[in-house]
Structure 1
Amino acid sequence: MSEAETLFAVLRQSVDEAVVDMLERMVRDAPDLALNRMNPLDLAASSGLAEEQVIAGLLHAVSLGMLEMTWAVMCPSCAGVLSANKSLKTLTSAQYNCGFCAVGYETTLDNLVEVTFTVSPRLRKIAAHNPDELSVAEYYRQIFWSSAIDLPDDLEQPLREATLETVDLPAGERAILSMNVPAGTLIVFDPVTHAAQFLDVRGKEARERQNLTVVFNKIQVPVDTTVLRPGPLRLTLENRTDARVLPAVWVASQALDDLLGRRKPYLTAKRLLTNQTFRDLYRTETLAIGQRLKILSLTFLFSDLKDSTALYDRVGDLVAFDLVNEHFRLLQEIIAAERGAVVKTIGDAVMATFETPDRAIAAAIRMQEAMSDLGAERQHQSLRLKMGIHEGSCLAVTLNGQQDYFGQTVNIASRVQGLAASRSIVVTEAVLENAETRALLEANGLRPTQKTVTLSGIADKVSVYEIT
């Protein structure tokens, strides 16, 4: 049995068989580019499989060394990869700048960081493992642009329409281009060094040839703009690096807008952090000690069993222990099914995160039903769950050796849970402002009751809503 066959046999022990079959077919038959920076949401849509199944399968494949995971900081404007990282631990910059767009972005995990998967050379060697050998078009497709852009199969034609020139320039070499530049904005950009030079072409057409030199090196400098006139230009490109560069002269035009406007869903770092399989596999290896990464919007759910101490007195330690453990199992199963993850348990309480408020509400409703069913099944109607939900910004951090969250949003969610009566869910206004949440409550015939409360540590009174 080959190493690949052995690895796939091991993968089948923990991953849905349909997902393993898909990966095995891809490794055997798919073109090279299909195995580079795989987009899990794309794979799920094209294969008819559930997104969470595919994500779980890819994560397990990474843990076996079959795939490599990349956390890529991407520009929301052009979908270019600004920084490719094997771990979140190397995301240490507070801001990332895109030379192609001349824009800077604060580092957040919501939409700025995508997660993709590439086949390991131990399973199959592909062209992207040697990016220096890729053509200009394929370098843009497979290295520079992220999986968030839906590129056409034939990328050469759109590149010709959006550029005046493209150059494959070896290390230490120089190229001289003679061209006529039209009025408008041109961008001399290299996807290898990310160096860029903007050209503002305007005014009366030049009769004599203009000259401009652009140097590519490893020194990151702010994007500059040079004013030129329409007409003849002698453009000198100098590569002062020890590797090839791939400069192109882009025209800010409808053709470029059309190319960059082709978008598709992608797996964000925020969504992956709220995935239960990811937390189970990478609970202690996600962030460096002291590292703090900002999330603009995350939903927290806190739950607690009401009067669990009295339960131990009433039914005895063994029966109560079994009930509480079954309660934890059911809650984790429901949370994972609603695309959430259990961050930790504290006594009989659970802290979970969700990408959006509606997912947390859906989980809370199912959790209440599950506790009622469990109580009826075990003839202990005293299994009453209290829950609180809040949405807002937070920091992803490492606490007590595992990936956790810090901030006022977490504090409020915890305190809101303390307001919940037996078998009720208390949510904040931020949760109810979500349109999907309101639709979900209506569909379930649930009408929240508003009240204004004071929360410890919060200066102003807040509006909360009780759902029973």
Structure 2
Amino acid sequence: MSEVDVLFATLRHAAGQQTADCIENAVRNGSDRDLNRINALAFAKAHDLDEEKTIAGFLHAARIGAFEMTWNVLCPGCGGVLDSGTTLKAVDRESYHCALCAAGYEPTLDEMVEVTFTVSPRVRRIAAHEPDRLPALEYYRQVFFSTGVDLPDDLEERFGRILLEMIELDPGEKAFVSVQLPPQFIIIFDAVTHSAQFIDVQGEPTGERQNLSMVISRGHTPNETETLRPGLLRLTLENHTDRRVLPNVCIAGDDLHEILGRRRPFLTAKRLLTNQSFRDIYRTDTLDVDQRLRITSLTFLFTDLRGSTALYERVGDLAAFDLVRAHFRVLHEIVATETGAVVKTIGDAVMATFPSPDRAVTAALRMREAMLRLNTERGSEDLLLKIGIHEGPCLAVNLNDRQDYFGQTVNIASRVQNLADPHVILTTEAIVGNERVCEILRDSGITSVSRMEELHGISREVKIFALP
């Protein structure tokens, strides 16, 4: 049995037969392009797989060395990859600048950081393992643009309609290019260094030759927009880097926006951090101690057992411990199946995160039913579960050697849970105002009851909604 056969046998054991078979088939029979920066959500859709099982499959594949996982910082405008690293620790800047869009952004884990998977060279070598040897447009497709940009299959043909010139420059090379400028907005852009020059072509056509020079370097700073007239341009391009560069001159009009405007879902860092498989596999290697990464919206669910001290007194330590452990096992399973992750347990309490409010509410309803069922089976009311849910912005941080969360959203969710009575789920307006949550409550025949509450450490009253 070859090393690759052993790897995929291991993957089948960890990730399941169907998911592992699809990944193995892609590795053995897919194109080179298909195996570079795989979008796990698109892969799941293409192979009719469950998304969570697919994500878990690629995580396990990365863990055993069959794939390499990368974290890519994206421009929310054009969808270009502004930076890339092998761990989330590489996202270490307060802001990122996109030269193509001439805009700067503070990185957030919601939609600005994607996670992709590339087949390892030990399993199969593909062209993208040597990106500087990719054809120019393949470099743009496979390296510069994120997997959230749904580039057309006929990219070459469509890009050719707006492309005035594209050349390759080796390290230290200089080139002179003659370009006929139409009366439109023109961009000179290199996908390797992200160097850009904008040209606003306007006015009457000129018969005189116009000249423009552009130096492509690693420390390239944005240039002011040049205003030129329609007509001939003699363009001088100089590569001051130690890599091949790929500058192109194109028309920045509706055709370009149409090429880049088609988007599709991709695996965000936020979603991966709320994935139980990821937390289980990479629990100690996610963030540096000093990192503070912003998430604009995350849903927190807190649970606790009321009267657990009395439970230990009533049934004895051993029986109570077994019962509490059974309760934890059920909650962990429910959180994982609703695309959430348990961040930590504190005594008899659980802190979990979900990518959206509807997943958290569904999990809470299932938790309540599960505890009621366990109590019925035991013929007692030993498990009195209190649940609180809130959604909002937060920071992803590293606390006590664990990837954790910090901020007022976390505090409010915890305080809301403290107010809950057994078997009653308490939420905030941010939760019940969610459209999908409204549908879930309506389908379940649940009518929320609201009241204003003062929460410890919160300066304002908060509207609380009980889901009886």
- Aligned residue for 1:425? 425
Gaps of 5+ in 1: none
Paired residues of 1:70 and 1:87 also in contact (CA < 8 A): yes
Q: Displacement, 1:19?
A: 0.7
Taking the aligned partners of 2:272 and 2:261, their CA distance within structure 1 comes to: 25
What is the deviation of 1:153? 2.4
Report what 1:346 is aligned to. 346
Structure 1 residue 378 displacement after superposition: 2.4
CA distance in 1, matches of 2:123, 2:370: 43
AA aligned opposite 1:2: S
Paired AA for residue 338 in structure 1 = E
Q: Distance in 2 between matches of 1:356 and 1:447?
A: 20
**Aligned ranges 1:6-405 → 2 under 5 Å:** 6-405=6-405
Deviations, residues 92-116 of structure 1 (Å, cap 9, x unaligned): 1111111111111111101000100
C-alpha RMSD of matched pairs (Å): 0.9
1:99–1:223 Cα contact (<8 Å) kept = no
Distance 1:330 1:247 in 2: 56
1:445 is matched with which residue? 445
- SS of the aligned residue for 2:61 comes to helix
C-alpha spacing 1:321/1:223, structure 2 compared with 1 (3 Å): farther
- Bigger drift between 261-270 and 174-183 goes to 174-183
Give the 3-state SS of the residue equivalent to 2:14 in structure 1: coil
Deviations 1:385-405 (A, max 9, x none): 101001111110010111000
CA distance in 1, matches of 2:38, 2:210: 44
Q: Distance in 2 between matches of 1:207 and 1:414?
A: 71
Question: How far apart are the structure 1 equivalents of 2:220 and 2:307?
Answer: 60
Residue type matched to 2:339 in 1? R
User: TM-score normalized by structure 1?
Assistant: 0.99
- Superimposed CA distance per residue, residues 82-138 of structure 1 (whole angstroms, 9 cap, x where no aligned partner): 001111111111111111111111111010001000000010000000011100110
- Give the Å deviation of 1:411: 0.6
Amino acid at match of 1:385: L
Q: Is the 8 A contact 1:195 1:223 kept in 2?
A: no
- How far, CA to CA, are the matches of 2:83 and 2:162 in structure 1? 24
Point out where structure 2 has 5 or more consecutive residues left out of the alignment.
Answer: none
1:111 aligned partner, one-letter code: E
Bigger mean CA offset, 407-416 vs 309-318: 309-318
Mapped contact 2:302–2:388 kept (Cα < 8 A):
yes
Q: CA deviation at 1:24?
A: 0.9
Deviations 1:392-426 (A, max 9, x none): 11110010111000111111110000110111111
- State the 1:203 CA deviation: 1.5
Q: What CA distance in whole angstroms lies between the structure 1 residues aligned with 2:179 and 2:131?
A: 29
Kept in 1, the 8 Å contact 2:84–2:90? The answer is no
Identity %: 56
Contact 2:208-2:232 within 8 A present in 1 as well: yes
Deviation at 1:301, TM superposition (A): 0.3
CA contact (8 A) 1:68 1:118 kept: yes
Q: How much has 1:224 moved relative to structure 2?
A: 2.5
Compute the displacement of 1:448 (Å): 0.8
| Shift, 1:381, TM fit | 2.5
1:423 & 1:73 partners in 2: Cα distance? Answer: 42
SS state at 2:445 partner? coil
Question: Per-residue CA shift, 1:133-159, capped at 9, x if unaligned?
Answer: 100110011100110011222321122
